[in-house]
Amino acid sequence: MSLARGRVLVSGGAGFIGSHLCERLLADGFDVLCVDNFYSSTRDNIAHLLDNPRFEIIRHDVTFPLFVEVDQIFHLACPASPVHYQRDPVQTTKTAVHGSINMLGLAKRTGARILLTSTSEVYGDPLVHPQSEDYWGNVNPIGPRACYDEGKRAAETLFFDYHRQHGLDIKVARLFNTYGPRMHPNDGRVVSNFVVSALKGESLSVYGDGSQTRSFCYISDLIEGLLALMNSSPDVTGPINLGNPGEFTIAQLADLVIEMTDPSAGVTYLPLPVDDPTRRQPDITRANEQLQWSPTVSLREGLTPTIEYFRAAVID
């Protein structure tokens, strides 16, 4: 299903991923309603869109109902980095659960197709590698990350129950580590942490021995995946992994960032956080087959504009 100039709601639209999605939807001819409470986002991310007559922004917390008329809903709203989601874990869980209930209720009333951005964190510290969508995960339900991990798992449950019970047209994407311009400089994510530290001439903080792995997807690739999923046939509900299957150790990432920013930068090793996953790599077979999607931007290619963004945002 592809809409011609339909009205699309993006919850969390002023966030890192949401702002890029709003920008792309506008470029594709859609009317875009950005909904955000600015808990972990900033108006700066969408300032360049405010003069577009097809762009509208509502300051709103999705834990409260919203009554608008829309054709599609991209439900992104939820703090996504440990720094932000652990600051108020109860509110994080409420955002994941109550926010999803409210967005699903809106989709039910309007007949809108709705897409949830879930997360690779539903796999926890995985016992299966790489992670495919049929793996149920290894999550600590009472740990400090559970507000996000279990919140997103509950959100997926709600989406599929609304689909089964009410026939709602749903899509569920499980996002793996994504990076690029407009990341929050203090969000605690490893790419932003490393780049900001290196640009400031500070030592890069590596937790553990640096052997844990992550897979890094550049923002433009992710946006293509989200659009491909939203516009796929109704029988493609997901969950579908969206991420770059290239696997890097944290130490390798640190070396690359140092090479591209300040070769004199050092590394400081710190204790590994509680429940921090040791390995993370998406199996994107389902995305390849059902969406004809795979990422094209290499880590080095994507780091170049990311570093330049932080150089301007943090240093200048």
Q: What is the pLDDT of residues 25-69, one digit of tens each?
A: 999 999 999 999 999 889 999 999 999 999 999 999 999 999 999
pLDDT of residue 293: 98
What's the CA gap between 217 and 82, in Å, rounded? 18
With contact defined as beta carbons under 8 Å apart, do 42 and 1 qualify? no
Mean pLDDT over 209-216 rounds to 92
Q: What is the pLDDT of residues 11-31, one digit of tens each?
A: 999 999 999 999 999 999 999
* Average confidence score pLDDT of the chain: 93
Instruction: From 315, 246, 250, 311, select the one nearest 284 (Cα to Cα).
Output: 246
With contact defined as beta carbons under 8 Å apart, do 128 and 95 qualify? no
Q: In terms of pLDDT, which residue wins out, 172 or 189?
A: 172
Buried residues in 155-192 as b, exposed as e (16+ CB within 10 A): bbebbbebbeeeebbbbbbbbbbbbbbbbbeebebbbb
Strand ranges across the sheet with 55-59: 55-59, 31-36, 7-11, 72-75, 113-119, 170-175, 240-242
Q: What is the pLDDT of residues 281-314, one digit of tens each?
A: 999 999 999 999 999 999 999 999 999 999 998 7
What's the CA gap between 184 and 188, in Å, rounded? 9
Residue 69 CB burial class (10 angstroms; 0-12, 13-18, ≥19): exposed
With contact defined as beta carbons under 8 Å apart, do 143 and 275 qualify? yes
Neighbours of 311 (CB within 10 A): 14
What's the CA gap between 49 and 66, in Å, rounded? 22
Q: Which fold has domain 7-179+219-244+281-296?
A: Rossmann fold (3.40.50)
pLDDT of residue 1: 40
pTM of the model: 0.94
Instruction: From 118, 109, 112, 225, select the one nearest 169 (Cα to Cα).
Output: 112
Residue-by-residue DSSP string for 136-198: --B--TTSTTHHHHHHHHHHHHHHHHHHHHH---EEEEEE--EE-TT--TTS--HHHHHHHHH
With contact defined as beta carbons under 8 Å apart, do 8 and 33 qualify? yes
pLDDT of residue 2: 43
Choice among 112-121, 149-158, 179-188, 221-230 with the minimum mean pLDDT? 179-188
- Which residues are catalytic, by number? 148
Q: What is the pLDDT of residues 70-82, one digit of tens each?
A: 999 999 999 876 7
> With 60 as the cut, is the pLDDT of residue 131 above it?
yes
Domain spans in the chain, listed from the N-terminal domain onward: 7-179+219-244+281-296
pLDDT of residue 54: 97
